[in-house]
């Protein structure tokens, strides 16, 4: 494996960004094979070299590739001095340190890819790759053929001419028009500037796809991992990722909506680490499997609680349905065990499989 700069090694370990890694190196907090290194440009082999930060050896995080549905009213930076919601508020749920690929405006929603693979991010965001980004833009006026032609013209942004956009009319709503705009690059506010150039200001903007990856099936604020088929397609079209592999489900958390908090673990239920990873394709996502609630505490025939505070289990009935000789009733059936693969939603919908039968409890003596 070729040598890499220490900044990249620290970044791949999920410690910090490359820029902040330079400060850690300059402060003498990084060792390579036992030797303190203070030169940020120093290189090392991430596999064979022993790289430590504050005495702890660094390990490379597994590569992660995903897509989120960015809502409006959010910046795509990892932090914001104005205190506005950021993409990091959602991406921190992934379980490994990832960054957005490219940016979307504060009031633009839609597809936002993310990864911790620098080569992958560079290939899909650099203008030389000509990676298509498709947008739906709602403009203020009725767009005629002359205005549509102006949408396809090159404009100057930051001293450089843009590549012509491919534009077509989707539909008209009263005095407004929905357009589909396809860009082969991603200049700052390019779609909105095209609207100003054509004298049809953009009032609503959403990204439909990036590199042919969509967020269909995801609500604003949700995310999912890319499927094997999607990764293979990206490698075939754009040469990344360099190695296509199944993403480790144990290293990431299931998709959640922004602001959702994990429920506290109940006795007998699955822990958050045991919750199954969302499996989804480009057309949507399925629900994660959830543990069903356990049944209510049982009473003994005498109605007394046990030493642990729980009431004892009643005695079973006989085959004829009568009480046993001790006069005890049988224990009611309990609910328990994991739901089937279709999941059990908040309203209590059951899947195709029945939950496993509970173990019989010993009858308490009077």
Catalytic positions are: 105
C-alpha distances out from residue 100 to 20, 109, 284, 344, 346, Å: 18, 14, 20, 32, 31
Sequence-separated (6 or more) residues with CB below 8 Å from residue 5: 40, 41, 42, 43
DSSP 291-344: BPPPPPPPPPTT--B-TTSPBPBPPPPPTTS---TT-PPPPPP---SB--TT--
Q: In what order do the strands lie in the sheet with 30-32?
A: 35-36, 30-32, 51-53, 56-57
Please give the Cα distance from 178 to 236 (Å, whole number).
32
Please give the Cα distance from 99 to 288 (Å, whole number).
24
Please give the Cα distance from 142 to 113 (Å, whole number).
32
Quick one: DSSP state of residue 198? T
C-alpha distances out from residue 163 to 73, 152, 184, 285, Å: 28, 9, 7, 35
User: Is residue 355 a contact partner of residue 336, using CB atoms and an 8 Å limit?
Assistant: yes
User: Is residue 134 a contact partner of residue 184, using CB atoms and an 8 Å limit?
Assistant: no
Please give the Cα distance from 276 to 221 (Å, whole number).
20
């Amino acid at each position: 494996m070729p040598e890499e700069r220490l900044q990249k090694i620290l970044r791949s370990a999920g410690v910090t960004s490359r820029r902040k890694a330079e400060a850690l190196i300059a402060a003498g907090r990084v060792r390579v094979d036992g030797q303190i290194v203070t030169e940020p440009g120093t290189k090392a082999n991430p596999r064979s070299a022993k790289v430590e930060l504050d005495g702890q050896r660094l390990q490379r995080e597994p590569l992660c590739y995903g897509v989120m549905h960015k809502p409006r009213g959010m910046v795509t930076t990892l932090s914001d001095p104005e205190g506005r919601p950021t993409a990091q508020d959602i991406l921190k749920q992934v379980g490994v340190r990832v960054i957005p690929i490219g940016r979307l405006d504060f009031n633009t929603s839609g597809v936002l890819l993310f990864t911790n693979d620098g080569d992958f991010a560079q290939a899909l965001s650099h203008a030389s790759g000509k990676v298509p980004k498709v947008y739906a833009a709602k403009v203020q006026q009725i767009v005629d053929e002359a205005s549509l032609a102006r949408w396809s013209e090159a404009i100057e942004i930051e001293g450089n001419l843009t590549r012509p956009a491919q534009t077509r009319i989707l539909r008209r709503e009263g005095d407004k028009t929905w357009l589909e705009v396809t860009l082969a690059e991603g200049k700052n506010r390019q779609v909105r500037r095209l609207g100003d150039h054509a004298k049809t200001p953009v009032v609503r903007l959403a990204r439909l796809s990036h590199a042919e990856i969509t967020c269909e099936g995801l609500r604003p604020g949700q995310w999912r991992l890319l499927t094997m088929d999607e990764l293979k397609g990206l490698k075939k079209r754009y040469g990344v990722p360099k190695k296509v592999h199944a993403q480790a489900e144990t290293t990431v958390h299931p998709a959640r909506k922004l602001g959702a908090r994990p429920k506290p673990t109940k006795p007998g239920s699955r822990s958050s680490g045991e919750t199954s990873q969302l499996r989804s394709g480009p057309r949507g996502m399925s629900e994660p499997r959830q543990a069903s609630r356990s049944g209510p505490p049982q009473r003994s025939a005498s109605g007394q609680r046990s030493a642990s505070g729980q009431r004892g289990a009643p005695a079973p009935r006989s085959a004829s349905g009568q009480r046993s000789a001790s006069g005890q009733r049988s224990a009611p059936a309990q609910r328990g065990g994991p739901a089937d693969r279709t999941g059990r939603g908040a309203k209590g919908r059951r899947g195709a499989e029945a939950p496993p039968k509970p173990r019989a409890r010993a009858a308490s003596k009077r």
